[in-house]
Copies of this chain bind each other. A is one copy, B any other.
């Protein structure tokens, strides 16, 4: 059980963006250099973030990206959702119409994974981008 790099990079990039947000659009090139993430990969990630209206793009020279909402209104859960970083604990939840493991009924652990998903999602729904930036700054001081 682990997060993918895509989810982690998305959070890193948005934290980076949030810090410089009020001045100018931030270019992916800058984020790439500061955070050590491949530029091509960042472009894929930001394409998704834009479609979910988490960021806005500014094209052309001096362009880049800006947050589309206030940092406190962007929750971790929104970010992960945008880049398809889902908390799908197990396959049996994929098509819930059928049962689990090709059977007609739910598997005996089904309730457990439901609980686990809720537990994790609660964490993601509480944390905002603002929290993360503040917290990171404080710990460094």
Task: Point out residues on A near B: beta carbons under 8 Å.
Answer: 1-5, 7-8, 11-12, 15-16, 35-37, 85-92, 101-103, 107-109, 111-113, 115-116, 119-120, 123, 127, 132, 135-136, 139
Which of B88, B107, B136 makes the CB contact (< 8 A) with A108? B136
Residues of B within 8 A of A139 (CB): 111
Q: How far is the CA of A116 from the CA of B79 in the complex (A)?
A: 15
- What residue of chain B has the Cβ atom nearest to residue A105's Cβ? B140
A123 and B119 form a contact (CB under 8 A): yes
Interface centre among A15, A107, A108, A123 (most CB of B within 10 A): A108
Query: Known contacts being A35-B101, A36-B102, A136-B108, is A113 close to B3, with CB within 8 Å?
Result: yes
